[in-house]
Amino acid sequence: MEEMKKISLIEKYTVPSESNFFKLDANENLVLDKDFLTKISINSLKKTDLRKYPIELYERLYKKLSNYLDVSVGSLVLGSGSDQIIDLLLTLLGRGRRLASIYPTFSYFKTRCQLHGIDVSELKLSAIDNSLDSEKFIEDAKKSHAAYLCSPNNPTGNQFEKSKILRIVGSLKRTLVIVDEAYVEFAKYSLIKCVKEYPNLVVLRTFSKGLALAGARIGYMVANEKLADLFKNRIQLPYAVNSLSLAIAISLISNPKKVEKSIALIKDERDRMYESLSKIKKINVYKSDANFLFVRCNKKYNRIIEALENSKILVKGLGNIDTYGNCIRITVGTKKVNNKILSVFNNIQLTK
Ligand SMILES: Cc1ncc(COP(=O)(O)O)c(C=O)c1O
């Protein structure tokens, strides 16, 4: 009972609401045509025998994914969303251990650390340009059993320089470094090819964001083959992903043109939104390498959220983030919805 009391004090995960709003609060890819995915899903269901465990489908997705990413099958481990892989990694790390991270970052990761009794230390990013002091991070991580970095970072949207991250990974040879690349399809580089060289590096990836399959719950990790083998065959559940999700994922990456086009469109729209929002006084928007924009609303936070809500636009209100002040995170949507957001911002009188 004592343990339950402690758990009840951990911040509750509030599931983003499903309403008649334009949902721009969870960084899903809502630009890819829904009917296209429905068609793939129906065809996948027709080809799937739900009476059987997904042995063959697992093999096929591992092979397809290995080709798609150009990494070995042996370096991949699938999971039920990257959330589930995060949980396994934290189980492995164990109660009473210490983990080095940054602030702000993916808040759910910290919540799970609390549940697993892992002590998280957080190095603050610079509120000026979201940059990371890699030397300070290394210093802190040397006192820790593991480190977590999100690349590009949620919610700030920036990807730290590749040389900085590799310096961190290379300086912490005895520490597990988890690099969460949930938004990498929108970014400049990935570290998946570096796992051969750095056995302490684990890269987390997902089908939920760029690949538009948040509802299918498929994530994966890319790691050195020895670590991946340990994970796949001793730690991970044998069938963490169901047959239908596996079949849909196989189909999507066998014919990735449409989804890749939607990613390119989101990137263009993100940059256009950034240019427009940076002209608005009283707010600060940061350049993004992801599919969302991080906006400091300063004193206009409540007014901005209210105006967006009145236009039926749901964004992620992040509240007060230390030296950043009150911030929101907006997922980049279709051109039409993005124009709506821009007109809301342009219509609010952002004067004193
Ligand atoms: C940085 C980051 N990692 C992981 C996840 C979880 O992704 P999945 O849907 O694969 O569990 C999210 C989802 O918001 C995220 O922002």
Q: What is the whole-number distance in angstroms between the Cα of residue 280 and the centre of ligand 1?
A: 30
Please give the biggest Cα pair distance in the chain: 64
> Tens of pLDDT along 204-247?
999 999 999 999 999 999 999 999 999 999 999 999 999 999 99
Out of 3.90.660.10, 3.90.1300.10, 3.40.640.10, 3.30.750.80, the CATH code matching 48-254 is 3.40.640.10
Q: Which two tokens stand for residue 64?
A: 């397809």
> Tens of pLDDT along 51-109?
999 999 999 999 999 999 999 999 999 999 999 999 999 999 999 999 999 999 999 99
Q: What is the whole-number distance in angstroms between the Cα of residue 350 and the centre of ligand 1?
A: 33
* pLDDT for the residue 348: 83
* pLDDT confidence tier of residue 12, bands split at 50, 70 and 90: low
Best residue for ligand 1 mutational test, from 108, 159, 203 (most atoms within 8 Å of Cβ): 108
Backbone phi, psi, residue 13, to 5°: -85, 115
Q: Is 157 in the pocket of ligand 1 (CB under 6 A)?
A: no
Best residue for ligand 1 mutational test, from 15, 29, 83 (most atoms within 8 Å of Cβ): 83
* pLDDT for the residue 20: 80
Of 243 and 1, the structure prediction assigns the larger pLDDT to 243
Best residue for ligand 1 mutational test, from 78, 88, 106, 288 (most atoms within 8 Å of Cβ): 106
Torsion of CA 215, 285, 169, 162, to 10 degrees: 100
Q: Is 29 in the pocket of ligand 1 (CB under 6 A)?
A: no
Specify the pTM.
Answer: 0.95
* pLDDT for the residue 8: 72
Give the Cα separation of 318 and 332 in Å (integer).
16
Report the DSSP beta bridge partners of residue 285: 295
Burial of 21 (0-12, 13-18, 19+ CB in 10 A): middle
Of 285 and 11, the structure prediction assigns the larger pLDDT to 285
* CA-angle at 240, arms to 151 and 1, nearest 5°: 90
Q: Which two tokens stand for residue 218?
A: 């498929």
Q: What residue type is 279 in one-letter code?
A: K
Residue 1: pLDDT over 80: no
Best residue for ligand 1 mutational test, from 82, 220, 222 (most atoms within 8 Å of Cβ): 82
Domains 2-32+258-347 and 48-254 in one fold: no
Of 17 and 309, the structure prediction assigns the larger pLDDT to 309
Torsion of CA 103, 329, 202, 216, to 10 degrees: 150
* pLDDT for the residue 352: 41
Give the Cα separation of 325 and 301 in Å (integer).
9
Q: Is 289 in the pocket of ligand 1 (CB under 6 A)?
A: no
Please give the average per-residue pLDDT across 271-276, as a whole number: 98
Q: Which CATH class is domain 2-32+258-347?
A: alpha beta
Q: What is the whole-number distance in angstroms between the Cα of residue 116 and the centre of ligand 1?
A: 18
Please give the average per-residue pLDDT across 126-132, as a whole number: 97
* CA-angle at 219, arms to 138 and 175, nearest 5°: 20
* pLDDT for the residue 45: 97
Residue 36: pLDDT over 70: yes
Q: For the chain, which residues make up each domain, given as ranges?
A: 2-32+258-347, 48-254
Which residue owns the Cα nearest ligand 1 atom 15? 182
Closest by CA to 165, choosing from 154, 155, 178, is 178
Cβ count near 350 (within 10 Å): 17
The chain-wide mean pLDDT, for the chain, equals 95
Q: What is the whole-number distance in angstroms between the Cα of residue 198 and the centre of ligand 1?
A: 23
* CA-angle at 228, arms to 257 and 41, nearest 5°: 35
Helices (H), ranges, 206-334: 225-230, 243-254, 257-278, 301-310
Residue 327: pLDDT over 80: yes
> Coil, strand, or helix at residue 294?
strand
Which residue owns the Cα nearest ligand 1 atom 2? 182
> Tens of pLDDT along 153-184?
999 999 999 999 999 999 999 999 999 999 99
pLDDT above 90 as % of the chain: 91
Report the DSSP beta bridge partners of residue 314: 23
Which residue owns the Cα nearest ligand 1 atom 12? 182
